Structure 1
């Protein structure tokens, strides 16, 4: 057994995802699927290159993040997080499972653009609702909405690769993303001083809750991934790539064939760090149960079926201070 097969990886693999954008390149798509499967089984993380998202758009979104987080606190707080988890979250409002201290980060969250008369909104489903935008900042909003649309399609292509990797129809997941819980987040991590409290992280060690996460990060560094020997492996900035990782829900969906790997952010650079994860989760009412081809006679389904939205909502309720205050009010 090799080191990578045992989970003792020392680096994160890179997958050229370009064939997933060419419906005629079936052999290329199968090659991508095989590489995704290997990475999802052995590491739980992989970079993707040739992802079809314009470089100019990435630069513009980066500037949007810098612009927003340098605004006065009262302006940011004017669009504080709402019940649908859209808007601004101030520093030290997130405590991840098993952590003693709240994360040293702030964020701005936006998600699928539901209209106010959408049946899911009218039904009052958690995490379904209106985005919040700064008033009179039309260009800023337009750039972020464009980014969301581009990454939404990229996520569909990654899921097509995942479906093929499991010998499923290429479009297996697409029908589950008609009114999805796909959430984008601008993140800002301030530099941490050398004498910072022990156990204080930009993002404490955790696994992601959902299906997959698609992350753009700047060149400051700080993302680390834990292999199965307990060693922290750096996942540094690589020009022209995104980082993709498997979340708890997809691990469960795949009967633990795919691994949801712990990771953290340690910003010891002395500089600000910016990143933009997109949590690519399906429609609220999607039933998550053992996927076809993920169980055998020797490895039967391990988990009871769950509802995707209920699962994600429960994780948010346990992690965010603003949700806990409302529950105890």
Structure 2
């Protein structure tokens, strides 16, 4: 099985995109409306941020989870004992951010969130009637007025060769949210676990947009849309010396949104953050 990029501008793009999500947990879009030059600019500016000592001035707030997370407090994937080899910055419109980086990041956040709402409407449109009946409100409405949608600027630093045995840039995990919107990173390494158990490379052509299902959409759809395991593997050879920047937008509903008889979005998020060890 391979992941095939769907042309966003094609007449059948919504149906093909949702079919890919259903089959693999992932969809890949090309010719999408997000400005590639802005993404490249964000990568350059945030690489400089991560290369500077000033990043330590923006340490995260534990209660609100905004700001800089250094590698020493990086996430440990559920079921793993080793921390991921990464550092990252959590951006919310209401949260802390260096002034010189905020306007550009907010512009990307706005555009990506608008596109994500459209993709949620595609999922709604091509959900079978018995699955649509499970949604307590239209999927795209779940994110209206939400202050929980998170833009993470991820930095995977160059590998030194002395990393703990078995540690990788991002161990296998599932995302918590509804959908994750991710421009192809500046380096390959993202893989998705197929239903057969094999790991497939996600197309990393610069300009592709990668979308995956999170646990909350799986919960809201009664398992019809699978939250698929994915990971970021370590590079080998010369590529070990390269940084990798990634820019996932995690689309979160309002905390009061009812996902299922078991969970609201708020209760589900808190449960998962405790499992990750970040609260």
Same fold, TM exceeding 0.5?
yes
Q: Does 1:148 align with 2:106?
A: no
Q: In the alignment, what sits opposite 1:15?
A: 6
* Aligned residue among 7, 10, 17 for 1:36: 17
The answer to whether the 8 A contact 1:32-1:161 is kept is no
* Cα distance in 2 between the residues matched to 1:98 and 1:237: 27
* Cα distance in 2 between the residues matched to 1:239 and 1:108: 22
CA change 1:143–1:320 in 2 (3 A) is: farther
SS at 1:259 equivalent: coil
Q: Decide which structure has the larger Cα Rg and report it.
A: 1
Q: Does 1:287 align with 2:258?
A: yes
Shift of 1:194: 5.1
SS at 1:78 equivalent: helix
* Cα distance in 2 between the residues matched to 1:193 and 1:234: 24
Q: Does 1:259 align with 2:226?
A: yes
Q: In the alignment, what sits opposite 2:79?
A: 98
The answer to whether the 8 A contact 1:18-1:51 is kept is yes
Q: In the alignment, what sits opposite 2:139?
A: 173
Q: In the alignment, what sits opposite 1:277?
A: 248
SS at 2:253 equivalent: strand
SS at 1:143 equivalent: helix
* Aligned residue among 302, 309, 314 for 2:266: 309
Structure possessing the higher relative contact order (Cα contacts under 8 Å, 6 or more residues apart)? 2
Q: CA RMSD in A?
A: 2.0
* Cα distance in 2 between the residues matched to 1:164 and 1:178: 18
Shift of 1:217: 3.2
* Cα distance in 2 between the residues matched to 1:133 and 1:197: 31
Q: In the alignment, what sits opposite 1:89?
A: 69
* Cα distance in 2 between the residues matched to 1:96 and 1:219: 23
- 4+ runs of 1 displaced by more than 6 Å? none
Q: Deviations over 1:59-107 (max 9, x none)?
A: 21111221210110xx212221112111000004211101120111000
The answer to whether the 8 A contact 2:181-2:211 is kept is yes
The answer to whether the 8 A contact 2:152-2:247 is kept is yes
SS at 1:288 equivalent: coil
Task: Give TM-score, length-normalised by structure 2.
Answer: 0.89
* Cα distance in 2 between the residues matched to 1:229 and 1:192: 30
Task: Give TM-score, length-normalised by structure 1.
Answer: 0.76
Specify every segment of 5 or more residues in structure 1 that has no aligned partner in the other structure, as ranges: 1-8, 20-27, 114-129, 290-303, 324-329
Q: In the alignment, what sits opposite 2:95?
A: 131
Shift of 1:313: 2.1
Shift of 1:195: 5.8
Shift of 1:224: 1.0
- The count of aligned residue pairs is 266
* Cα distance in 2 between the residues matched to 1:51 and 1:217: 12
Shift of 1:190: 1.5
The answer to whether the 8 A contact 1:45-1:243 is kept is yes
